[in-house]
Amino acid sequence: MSGSDRLELPAYRDIRIEHAGPISWIVLARPDKANALSTAMLDEFSDALARLADTGGPIVGIRGEGKGFCAGYDVDQVGKPKAADPVADRDRLARNVNRYLAIWDHPKPVIAAVHGYCIAGATQLCVFTDLTIVAEDARIGEPALPLGGGYIAPLWAPLVGPKRAKELAFLPGNAIDGRTAVQWGWANHAVPAHEVISTVEALAARMAKIPSDVLRIKKLAINRTMDAMGVRTAAAQVPEMDALLHLSPSVLQLREWIGEVGLKSAIAEFHTPPEERT
């Protein structure tokens, strides 16, 4: 690959770019925060994705540093009550969805490599990648607490079907492993955790044998078929559903209760079956 194909990228704080043969990796690099999606990380991610449209390798990969892929949105930024502003809330949520649609619209194939955990907003990101390779023992699922709704699982529905999307959404903190993710159609392949990155890089090497313009049109043709089936329209409505629920009395009451008992106690309460509670 020529030097002109690998132009200098900014020195990011919360992500890292690594080139490995035909694939350029966007590495989520906040392992001390479980790679939680802060506003700063999301901004850097969007910037890197845009720059890699015309630099780097012919394939883009996304992976997480440390014990897992990503624990979802940073609760220090999105999990605390704020003054009610449904318009601002909807705009914030729409910006996140548009970041992931940029993966869908990217001129290069984009592959996610998932290990450890992939929760909430991280699953939204993976929904819009072209391929997803998961560790067999990965944990993939909903937020730990039901503080929103109509934002995560609806984006799963085109991949897994409505009944499985509802199963995911209706049980608090619900999650599936990597093997189940493949059975459901959410992921392409499940492999041992130590083989996830090498599997993605091997796929990228095979893809790179096809000229980039051919890959681009193949991706565009399939995406247009999915757009005709309503995928993009469905994605556009999820911010409204979530913003609506954020102002519901039950969610506001739940937020107050979490503040009283603490996050860990609240998660434990929702994750313990009623028959096991004392």
**Digit-coded pLDDT (tens) for 219-267:** 999 999 999 999 999 898 888 888 888 888 888 888 888 888 877 787 7
State CA 260 to chain mean position distance: 30
Judged against a pLDDT cut of 50, whether residue 277 lies above it is answered with no
**How does residue 147 score in pLDDT terms, banded at 50, 70 and 90?**
confident
Distance CA 155, CA 233 (A): 11
- pLDDT (tens digit per residue) in 167-187: 998 888 889 999 999 999 999
| Dihedral sign for Cα atoms in the order 66, 139, 143, 25 | positive
> For residue 32, is pLDDT > 90?
yes
* Domain at 111, CATH number: 3.90.226.10
User: How many whole angstroms separate alpha carbon 95 and alpha carbon 202?
Assistant: 33
Selection from 64, 73, 213 nearest residue 138 by Cα: 64
The torsion defined by the Cα of 97, 99, 100 and 103, in degrees rounded to 10, comes to: 150
Closest among 120, 25, 110, 137 to 70, alpha carbons compared: 120
Lowest mean pLDDT among 7-11, 40-44, 199-203: 7-11
Distance between CA atoms of residues 94 and 236, nearest Å: 7
39-95 pLDDT, tens digit per residue, is 999 999 999 999 999 999 999 999 999 999 999 998 776 545 456 788 888 888 899
pLDDT at position 29? 98
CA distance to 88, 112, 127, per residue, from 132 (Å): 32, 5, 8
Count of domains observed in the chain:
1
Domain that holds residue 190: 3-276
